[in-house]
Amino acid sequence: MQAEDVKNREGTHVDPGNASRWRDQVLPLISRQYLIAILIVLSIAVGAAKPVFWGSGNISNVLFQASFVGLAACGMTLLIAGGLLDLSVGGVIAVSSIAVATALPYGTVGSAIGLALLIGAVLGLVNGLLVTFVRIPPFIATLGTLYLFLGLAFIWTGGKVIGLSSKNYRALTTGDILGVPTPFVVLVIVAVLSYLLLWRTYFGRTVRAFGSNERAASLAGLPVKRAKVLVFVFAGISFALAGAFMAGRLASAEGNMAMGFEMDVIAAVVVGGTALRGGRGTLLGTVVGALLFAVLANALNLLGVASYWQYVLTGAVLIAAIAVGARRASAAEVRGAG
């Protein structure tokens, strides 16, 4: 994503002098990656104060946390790039995880995960149809379906926790590949796929186009309605995938397993640098944003910060990151008016 842009600029025939190359290419690269710099600085600082941070058990813990948010945030990034939003994350995760827990005693691990993704797709489709054809604003439509899906989950389970006994399932979802937790590996793969989908396909172009200017996109003949529905379906699948891993980690599923999770997901996307106005989306930023929140939460725990103060600090970081982002964005936009 970011690195790509720079490569492309070099690929053109324009050859600016050294000084302007520095200004046009290198500086934006550094300033765009400021979030990675913050992440590294934060990790080093916490590691210095509490060496246990770098212990392999702790790092794997952080990566697990980042993966759950990150997986759902991949779908959310595409939605936000299209100027859309989905608040029903917690409901989709609950319903699909409960389906996994219910189905596992009867089927294979693969078919259970397949079922979860299918349910995610169907719930996403419901959201997409409500927004696109019933024309309810995404915020309201998905707030409604959040309650709908949650209610469904509670009715299904009778409000009880469903245990997840399959050893194979737990081994798969909580295991690691070459020392890296499986969900994190899956997150990297999903993030790369989402990037390619958003930036290298006609579908992704349509999503960014209607996120940028919906009226112009439909006048240009782009299949706006179809793409809108599909991007909700894609997001639903990514939420369900996050849910499948969460259920494995918790060894159970229940209605309120992901209550309030949608806000963590949106926070990761926005802190990562995807503007809520739509038109653009950065998957690298989203992954970094998810990592940043996971590291921060972990650090505050290690440092023994009281849990109420953790809320305060997390909120402060969120606001500071957006404030910096807003300043940078407005600096870039001034030229458009010339």
Partner 1 sequence: MAAVLEVRDIVQEYPGVRALKGVSLEFHPGTVKGLVGENGAGKSTLIRILGGIEQPVRGDVFVRQDRKVLRNSSDAQAAGISVVSQEFRLVPQLSIADNVFLGHELGTGGVINKRRTHELTAGLLDQLGLDLDPRRTVSSLTVGDRQMVEIARALSRDFDVLIMDEPTAALNGAEITRLHEIVQRLASQGKAIVYVSHHLDEIFDICDDVAVLRDGELIAEATIASLDEAQLVEHMLGRKPQHYERASTTAPSSEVRLLVRDLEIPGVRNPVNLSVAAGEIVGLAGLVGSGRTEITRSLFGDLPALSGQVSVDGKAVRPRSSREAIRSGIFMLSEDRKSEGILPHLDVTENAMVSRARGHLPTLQKSVPVRKDEGAAFERLRQQMRIRVPHGRQLIGNLSGGNQQKVLLGRALLSGCSVLLLNEPTRGVDVGAKVDIYQLIRELADAGVAVVVSSSDAPELAAIVDRCLVYFAGDQVAELHGPNVTEDNIVTASVGQVAEEDHHE
Instruction: Give the interface with partner 1 as residue ranges (CB under 8 A).
Output: 5, 8-9, 11-14, 20, 23-24, 200-202, 205, 208-209, 211-213, 215-223, 278-280, 331-332, 334-338
Least separation in angstroms between residue 332's CB and partner 1 is 7
Q: Give whichever of 178 and 337 is closer to partner 1, judged by the CB atom.
A: 337
d(CA 210, CA 225): 10
Measure the CA angle with vertex 227, ends 221 and 228; round to 5°: 115
Paired tokens of 84 = 């859309």
Adjacent-strand bridge partners of 177: 180
How many Å apart are CA 183 and CA 338, to the nearest integer?
A: 47
Per the CB < 8 A criterion, the answer to whether 83 and 277 are in contact is yes
The minimum distance between CB 232 and partner 1, in angstroms, equals: 20
Considering beta carbons, is residue 31 or 168 the nearer one to partner 1?
Answer: 31
Nearest approach, Cβ of residue 329 and partner 1 (Å)? 11
Give the CA distances from residue 77 to residues 13, 83, 192, 213, 238, in Å, rounded to whole numbers and listed in that order. 32, 10, 12, 17, 11
| Closest CB 63 distance from partner 1, rounded Å | 32
For Cα atoms 275, 277, 283, give the angle at the middle one, nearest 5 degrees. Answer: 35
Choose between 3 and 171: whose C-beta lies nearer to partner 1: 3
Instruction: List, in order, residues 6 or more apart from 285 with CB less than 8 Å away.
Output: 1, 35, 269, 271, 272, 273, 274
> Shortest distance, CB of residue 278 to partner 1, whole angstroms?
8
**Which ranges of the chain does DSSP label H, i.e. alpha helix?**
2-11, 18-21, 27-32, 34-49, 56-81, 89-103, 109-132, 138-157, 167-174, 182-200, 202-212, 214-219, 224-250, 261-271, 283-302, 307-333
Q: Give 319 or 332: the residue with its C-beta nearer to partner 1.
A: 332
CB of 19 to partner 1, least distance (A): 11
Least distance to partner 1, CB of residue 216, Å: 5
Tell me whether residue 107 or residue 223 sits nearer to partner 1 (CB atom).
Answer: 223
- Within 10 angstroms of residue 95's Cβ, the number of other Cβ atoms is 26
Distance CA(235)–CA(74), nearest Å, equals 8
CB of 23 or CB of 327, closer to partner 1: 23
Task: Return all residues near 259 (Cβ < 8 A) that are at least 6 apart.
Answer: 90, 150
Residue closer to partner 1, measured from CB, 210 or 261: 210
Instruction: Tell the smallest beta-carbon distance from residue 1 to partner 1 (Å).
Output: 13
Q: 260 or 338, CB closer to partner 1?
A: 338
Report which secondary-structure segment, H or E, holds 181. Answer: strand 180-181
